[in-house]
Amino acid sequence: MEVDPGDPLPDTNRDWSKLPVDALSAVFMKLGTVEILMGASFVCHSWLAASKSPELWRFVDMTRHKVIFSKGTDILCAMAKAAIDRSDGRMESFWAQKFVTCELLDYIVSRASSTLKSIRLIACTFVWGQSLATLAARCPLLEEIECSHHKMSADFFKYVGIVRPQLKRLRVHMPYFDYDATEDEMKEHHNEDEDDDEYEEPFEQWEARRNVDAFAIAENMHELRLLQISGNNLTNKGVSELAAQRSNMSGCLDNGLMLTVQISVSLGKTKAKMMGSLYMIFGKPRFETLRAEAKMEDGSYGDYYEDYSALSSPESCVDSKDVYCDDPKVYTMYHDYYSL
- Residue 86 neighbours by CB under 8 Å, 6+ apart: 51, 52, 53, 54, 56, 57
pLDDT digits (tens, 9 = 90+) for 198-241: 667 788 888 888 889 889 999 999 888 888 887 777 788 888 88
As its CATH architecture, domain 61-338 has Alpha-Beta Horseshoe (3.80)
CA distances from 80 to 76, 251, 271 (A): 6, 32, 41
Cβ contact 246:267 at 8 Å: yes
Work out the widest C-alpha separation in the chain, in whole angstroms.
108
Look at strands 263-267 and 272-276 and give their pairing.
antiparallel
- Give domain limits for the chain: 61-338
User: What's the distance, CA 212 to chain centroid?
Assistant: 22
Say what the pLDDT of residue 188 is: 57
Residue 251 three-state SS: coil
Candidates 177, 122, 319; CA nearest to 333 is: 319
pLDDT digits (tens, 9 = 90+) for 141-186: 999 999 988 888 899 999 999 999 999 999 988 765 555 555 555 5
pLDDT digits (tens, 9 = 90+) for 60-106: 999 988 889 999 999 999 999 999 999 999 999 999 999 999 999 99
pLDDT of 339 higher than 50:
no
